[in-house]
Amino acid sequence: MSPAMAVFNTLFLHGAYLLASVTFILGLRDLGSPRTARRGMFLAEFGMFAAIIGTLLHQEIITYEWIFVGLAIGTVIGIPMGFWIPMTAVPQRTALSHAFGALAVSLVGVATFYQAYGMGGHPLSGFERFAIGFEVLLGSLTFTGSLIAAGKLQGTLPGHPITYRGQNIVTVTLIAVMAAMWIWMVVSPEQTSTFFGLVGLALVFGIALVLPIGAADMPVVIAILNSYGGLAAAATGFALSNNVLIIAGALDGGSGFLLSILMCRAMNRSWGNVLFGAFGKVVAGAEKVQVEKTVKSMEAEEVAMLLDLAENVVIVPGYGMAVSQAQYAVKELTDLLEKRQVDVKFAIHPVAGRMPGHMNVLLAEAGIEYDKLYDMDQINSQFPRTDVAIVIGANDVVNPAAYDDPSSPIYGMPILDVHLARSVLVLKRSMAHGFAGIENELFYRQNTSMVFGDAKKTVSGFVTQLKEME
């Protein structure tokens, strides 16, 4: 390569990385609002494209065969996933994306270390060894942890916490051993068995970390694993002196960390409680409370008459809406009510569903406008003036026990104040508990009526009955 061409390649590479970094930052900023989220995704995609093009022209690349093989395989897998995986399965698809991204980061670290000390290459500095150790530790545990999270969300693995006696002792011991191995591989890198032992132990730790966590805590777990993956990518950037990896990883790690904090606050939980508390066990004595209380129920005809008299309605979506794929029926009901001059709003709890923003994604897929979606702080003050609140498959995020029962596991958790509405309709398949394993006091309130059945069929029944009343 001529000197002029080398200079051009270097300038092009740095320019592409700078463009990628700027669009990553702008894309993340736009993801802060539903109105600009789509633009943010396009910006981030363009930034990734620029980073890939720049990397392909890197002057240190000797041959392209394996690079193009990887690009082809990724394209063949990624495009069908994007088209065929339903929106209801976005949480588990996101977990899989975290898993494979973390695996890629970890493999880069393994290859870099092995090239230096297993193949007699150029030795790494102490800081580079430190960064690679951090990279493979977080990358490996994120890989297996994300696979477990995807399995729990998909139902392939049991959704309830899988715990055992002495679990926290084993977890702390694993952390201590991994920390010692990390330090030792930095001090004595020639003993490569320590490094590969660290990789293997981190893979085991990822399984041990997520397996005891209930599926309903996956919004927090996904955010935490996202943060781990980003930090691992940033460490890769330091190890390889790659600025775009440092910036992208820091953005991913920082945003994931902040998101996990917001999720914990929304659930009145701490990080430690999520990771080590096995929140999701059924509380002893919950069945007794259920036997001692009764509920009122309604049929579609009665609900139609109630909605016919309403002036304003607030719909609260939950995981039950995702399971039954009722978002399109909800859209049809919304259009019909608005045709009748009824004001319809949607109340979105931060941890509704199985991942942050799950409900927003499903409602957007059905074509419901962003300006109808209200977060908890915006909508709670409006519930006392609401004629009908329709809760579709949500449970603990609307449980008044968060206010009334100091002994409740969810006491102090911010909830949607649907119990203050004049009439509350709760759409559920059964009286099954939510993730907290406790009875929902909302079900037994005087202003609450249960509507049992599949949410999609139930909402479609409302639409049918309202049309017959026209």
Phi, psi of 314 (to 5 degrees): -120, 125
Count of C-beta atoms within a 10 Å radius of residue 100: 16
Which residue out of 30, 217, 252, 396 is catalytically annotated?
Answer: 396
Say how far apart CA 29 and CA 10 lie, in whole Å: 29
Handedness of CA 46, 49, 53, 54 (dihedral sign): positive
DSSP-derived secondary structure letter, 88: G
Non-local (6+) Cβ contacts of 357 within 8 A are none
Q: How many CA atoms within 13 Å lie on the side-chain side of 11?
A: 6
Phi, psi of 391 (to 5 degrees): -100, 115
Say how far apart CA 354 and CA 361 lie, in whole Å: 12
Q: Is 324 exposed, middle or buried (0-12, 13-18, 19+ CB in 10 A)?
A: buried
Six-digit token string for 161: 């916490």
Q: How many residues are given for the chain? A: 470
Six-digit token string for 117: 């000390």
Closest CA to 92 of 355, 318, 365, 356: 355
Closest CA to 75 of 52, 51, 43, 92: 52
For residue 396, indicate whether it is catalytic. yes
Say how far apart CA 219 and CA 393 lie, in whole Å: 17
Closest CA to 357 of 77, 34, 99, 101: 34
Count of C-beta atoms within a 10 Å radius of residue 298: 17
Structural contact between residues 337 and 313, judged by C-beta atoms closer than 8 angstroms? yes
Say how far apart CA 157 and CA 458 lie, in whole Å: 29
Say how far apart CA 220 and CA 139 lie, in whole Å: 18
Which residues are catalytically annotated? 396
